[in-house]
Amino acid sequence: MESTTIKNDLLEYAIDADGFATITINMVNEPTNLFSIDFIQSYLEIAQQAVENPTVKGVIVTSAHRDFMAGADLKFIGNPPKNKEGLFKDILNVHKGFRTLEQAGKPFVAAINGTALGGGYELALTCHHRIALSKPSIKIGLPEVNLGLLPGGGGTQRLSYLIGIPKATTYILQGKQFRPTQALSEGFIDQVVTDQEALIAAAKQWILKNSAPIQPWDDKRYKIPQGGLMSKSGTDTMIGGIGNLRKKTHGNYPGAQYAMACIHDGMLLPIDRGLEIEARYFIKAFYSKEAQNLIRTGFFAINEAKKGKVKPKGFDFYTINKVGILGAGMMGAGIAYVSARVGMDVVLKDTSVENAEKGKAYSEKLLQKNVSKGRITPELLQQTLDKIQTTDQTKDMADCDLIIEAVYENPELKAKVTQEAEAYLNPKKIFASNTSTIPITLLAKAAKRPENFIGMHFFSPVDKMPLVELIVGKETSDYAVAAAVDYVTQIGKIPIVVNDSRGFFTSRVFSTFTREGALLLHEGVPPAVIENVAKRVGMPVGPLAVTDEVSLSLALNVMDADQKERGKTAQTLYELLHKMAVDLGRPGKKAGKGFYEYPSGGHKHLWAGLKEHFPSDPNYLDAETVGKRILHIMALESYRCLEEGVLNSPTDGDVGSLTGFGFPPYTGGVFSYIDYVGIREFVEDCDNFASCYGPRFIVPESLREMAVNQETFY
């Protein structure tokens, strides 16, 4: 017989007839359990009652939700209280409460029946034993660094004691998450079981066998795996880790640095002092601009976008059962794969069945890779491939809910295939064009129903890149936008909606990155400085490497196709690209030579001939100015997109820049970056750059007014 003694909006507490107490985390007003101050206070109070009750043999901590505890309450974290010292004291009181439970001599077992991340796993660490269900959907770990934070519930200290400093440091800095069987082998948990009944039974059995447990960090005879901080493995981890962290983050992510400092400083001291050190570093990370940027955009804005927040109101969900794709090249093949893997029927058309089969083979290659890694079964591979029908007949597009044109970037070709395929499309269905630069209003002229025509800009490789930029033409209806958003969310991508313009938002802004890199080279900045500084400020690759990937010849062709008279900056860029691609015969990576050399079987490296053809002066520009020019120009062009109405909101720009072209996550995106720098300083920098390097840095008057009024985007 079980008697429930306490039940509130956060948890339930019951003691059964055999003396086993169970604390069941059940936040009824939240979709998942969250590690919040309110919960902790309630948990500590009830857990202390269990400790003081002589009839209680031990306490089992589990969950009524699908997750054990998904982590901290990010609503709280995204809006930090102004009283830093007060929060610091609250955290110390939390540590004191958990330490009291740990040392009370009564066994606590975490019965992990769902995902336990961040504060959820730290709660489990305060228990004396951890048992998890062996469900592959469960994740266990400390991912706080990914949000610019660090484990603030004792994780940096307890995990280091539990699995050793080398492994704890690596997994905390990587924000690593494990499935239960992996977590067991890595030492994160002590046991796995197959079902809920076995989970509770195992917890009770452990309690009976361990009536007075001691935590490893309280056991004077306990030896930390691989030795303490001053052991060879400990010192090697710290020395090597500092260098690796610097190389990976370039100092842009203070949360990661603070996490490492917690381990270094804390593991020299008793656990209680270590927890105090962790609390101090947590406060520093928590109030950093980088953490707030990562939480606001990297978590909240991106997750809201994933759910289709940009969808126009008033439309039912547009279910896609069958999608037609025109063109089985790299983009078409990728779109076919991401559609088929979520269960959609796909008709993949090319000029010949042979070409269409080559596109289908791309899906088979990706699926085989997943089979080899144990992510899917061979049966699922075949089921997914069976979803893709290859054809050279346009009539096979009949009955499609959506047709996506993904042929070469040529307006005439796109018009031709649009007219052919639209004839077979139900008048209430949607037609989309995958294009990165051509105005949708122009392409829609080929359509009989331009109101159902929309731009759908995928990024390469489609299976990896999360963003889809939806472009609204002059006549595109809200119905078409709503349907397109629903499709993008169905395939698990992130949609943003922008208005029509050449290059739209992402291509237009990203082109300023590659352009600035080329102009810096022309001015005399050493190419290695350009590339390394770009990575140092947080871009995934340098602008010269990106230009090679895209193709110098393609960039040249785009400029040739533009009939507008070139200004001085554009002419300089054209001449540089022409010299590289035509005069020197180095058109890019595909040809095996561009700004970089691409030796077969070796790593790419900057072409030595750049020194001869583009003389450089290492003292011409300091690294800070190079970095600012690279990021400022993208943020400035993004503001122009907002002012012109291409973008609908700063949030769309931030989400698109982070997920579409790799703008540094610690900045929060192109608009958050202006706030991050400080709007007045940003405008002053751009004014200086405009006078020194040209009118592309001229600040719009509306942005200047924001600076004068000390306004911010967030």
How far apart, in whole angstroms, are the C-alpha atoms of residue 616 and residue 625? 16
Q: Dig out the tokens for 422 from the structure.
A: 């639209």
pLDDT for residue 563: 65
DSSP state of 18: T
Amino acid present at 482: A
Q: Dig out the tokens for 500 from the structure.
A: 């029509």
* 124-137 pLDDT per residue, tens: 999 999 999 999 99
pLDDT (average), residues 569-576: 94
Contacts of 177 (CB under 8 A, 6+ apart): 117, 139, 140, 141, 143
Angle between the 670-677 and 623-644 helix axes, to the nearest 10 degrees? 120
CA-angle at 23, arms to 22 and 28, nearest 5°: 130
Q: Dig out the tokens for 171 from the structure.
A: 């997994």
Selection from 670, 301, 668, 656 nearest residue 470 by Cα: 656
Q: Dig out the tokens for 302 from the structure.
A: 């991106």
Q: Do β-strands 140-141 and 116-117 pair in parallel, antiparallel, or remain unpaired?
A: parallel
* 52-80 pLDDT per residue, tens: 999 999 999 999 999 999 988 878 888 89
Please say whether the beta carbons of 119 and 94 come within 8 A: no
Q: What is the mean pLDDT of the chain?
A: 95
* 266-296 pLDDT per residue, tens: 999 999 999 999 999 999 999 999 999 999 9
- Look up tokens 């400022």; give the residue: 632
> Cis bond leading into 461, ω under 30°?
yes
Coil/strand/helix, residue 601: coil
Active site residues: 457
Amino acid present at 625: T
Please say whether the beta carbons of 236 and 242 come within 8 A: no
* 337-355 pLDDT per residue, tens: 999 999 999 999 999 999 9
Q: What long-range pairs does 570-576 form, CB within 8 A, spacing at least 24?
A: 572/519, 572/522, 573/515, 573/518, 573/519, 573/522, 576/518, 576/519, 576/521, 576/522
How far apart, in whole angstroms, are the C-alpha atoms of residue 709 and residue 599? 54
Exposure of 630 by Cβ count < 10 A (0-12 exposed, 13-18 middle, 19+ buried)?
buried
Please say whether the beta carbons of 490 and 516 come within 8 A: no
* 440-483 pLDDT per residue, tens: 999 999 999 999 999 999 999 999 999 999 999 999 999 999 99
pLDDT for residue 649: 98
Q: Dig out the tokens for 36 from the structure.
A: 């919040």
Instruction: Average the pLDDT over each of 163-177, 360-374, 431-445, 563-577 and give the range with the smallest value.
Output: 563-577
Please say whether the beta carbons of 467 and 505 come within 8 A: no
Neighbouring C-alpha atoms within 13 Å toward the C-beta of 115? 19
- The answer on pLDDT for 301 being more than 60 is yes
The neighbour count for residue 84, using CB atoms within 10 Å, is 13
How far apart, in whole angstroms, are the C-alpha atoms of residue 347 and residue 386? 11
- The answer on pLDDT for 217 being more than 70 is yes
The neighbour count for residue 364, using CB atoms within 10 Å, is 16
Please say whether the beta carbons of 527 and 610 come within 8 A: yes
pLDDT (average), residues 549-555: 90
Coil/strand/helix, residue 375: coil
How far apart, in whole angstroms, are the C-alpha atoms of residue 271 and residue 485? 50
pLDDT band at 2 (very low <50, low <70, confident <90, very high): low
pLDDT for residue 79: 87
pLDDT (average), residues 357-366: 96
Q: Tell me the residue ranges of DSSP E strands in 479-527.
A: 494-499
How far apart, in whole angstroms, are the C-alpha atoms of residue 245 and residue 94? 30
Name the helix (H) or strand (E) containing 472: strand 467-472
pLDDT band at 5 (very low <50, low <70, confident <90, very high): confident
* 482-529 pLDDT per residue, tens: 999 999 999 999 999 999 998 999 999 999 999 999 999 999 999 999
Selection from 38, 147, 12, 40 nearest residue 97 by Cα: 40
pLDDT band at 561 (very low <50, low <70, confident <90, very high): confident
Amino acid present at 362: Y
Selection from 29, 63, 65 nearest residue 43 by Cα: 63
Coil/strand/helix, residue 595: coil
Measure Cα distances from 340 to 244, 363, 384, 434, 467 in Å.
39, 9, 6, 18, 18
Buried-exposed string 184-211: b where 16+ CB fall within 10 A, e elsewhere: bebebbbbbbeeeeebbebbbebbeeee
Name the helix (H) or strand (E) containing 596: strand 596-597
* 232-254 pLDDT per residue, tens: 999 999 999 999 999 999 999 99
CA-angle at 404, arms to 399 and 405, nearest 5°: 120
pLDDT for residue 564: 74
pLDDT for residue 4: 61
Please say whether the beta carbons of 462 and 338 come within 8 A: yes
How far apart, in whole angstroms, are the C-alpha atoms of residue 328 and residue 465? 18
Amino acid present at 444: A
pLDDT for residue 436: 87
Selection from 392, 390, 384, 302 nearest residue 651 by Cα: 302
Exposure of 428 by Cβ count < 10 A (0-12 exposed, 13-18 middle, 19+ buried)?
exposed
Please say whether the beta carbons of 509 and 523 come within 8 A: no
CA-angle at 113, arms to 109 and 116, nearest 5°: 85
Measure Cα distances from 591 to 550, 552, 581, 596, 599 in Å.
12, 10, 10, 11, 11
